[in-house]
Amino acid sequence: MATAHRRGQPGPPEDSRMTRTLACLNASRRIPEFIAYARSVALGLQRDPRLSGSSPPLAVFEADLRALEEAHTLTLTRAAGTAAARDACLERVRGDLLALRTFVQSVADANPPDAAAIIEIAGMNVKRSSGHGKADFEVKRTRVPGTVVLVARAAKGRASYDWQYGRDGVTWLDFEATLRADATLGGLTPGAWYFFRLRVVTPAGKGDWSDALSLLVT
């Protein structure tokens, strides 16, 4: 698990402060609709040459999707073991979609003027990072694999600092608040994109969350 301590390929720049266009999944919990959505993503990835070379490869995603379709059909027979087999296929396709969202995001980040169009072509939803409550801070790599340092502009007077991180800029995880305007976060996955944001807390109350910064962790 990631921990925080008090102190301080194509994609977005390391210390970007720009409002970002984010790729979001919109898959249904109902399996037939989930399959239809995954199929639309598979078709979308074929519509733009910039979306070639996906991870996982499109052929692998389509094979996993076919396996899910077949396994779901078998559950209609109510034979023993078919539901468990279907659920295993379902988890594999869900994992594929999460990886494909990361891939689509990297392509969108590399083409800012066309970011929204690229995401929509891929069959995903577009979300823009918040433009409210900006707070100056930066995220830096360290020599320790999977560890980053976040450094903010110190607030005037007494203050503490709340920090969050996530993999998609939509779902956030808290890590240890600090009394100083910096923190170290470890235990991240090298080679993965992460998003980070900050909130300043003063005697007057909690401030707004900053815009998210993104970084490819090494």
Give the Cβ contact number of residue 117 at 10 Å: 14
Task: Please state the domain extents for the chain.
Answer: 4-19+130-216, 21-127
Q: What is the CATH number of domain 4-19+130-216?
A: 2.60.40.10
Please name the residue ranges forming H helices in the chain. Answer: 31-44, 58-75, 82-110, 115-121
Taken as a whole, the chain contains a residue count of: 218
Mean per-residue pLDDT for 90-119? 91
Q: Token pair of 148, please? A: 């980053």
Mean pLDDT of the chain: 85
Mean pLDDT of 66-90: 96
Interval 3-41: pLDDT, tens: 443 333 344 434 334 467 888 888 888 999 999 999 999
Output the pLDDT for position 19.
Answer: 63
d(CA 91, CA 136): 39
- What does the pLDDT read at residue 212? 79
Spell out the residues 6+ positions from residue 141 whose beta carbon is closer than 8 angstroms to its own.
14, 148, 215, 217, 218
CA angle in degrees (0–180, nearest 5) for 37-214-172: 65
Task: State the pLDDT at residue 129.
Answer: 60
> How far, rounded to the nearest angstrom, does the alpha carbon of residue 192 sit from its chain's CA centroid?
9
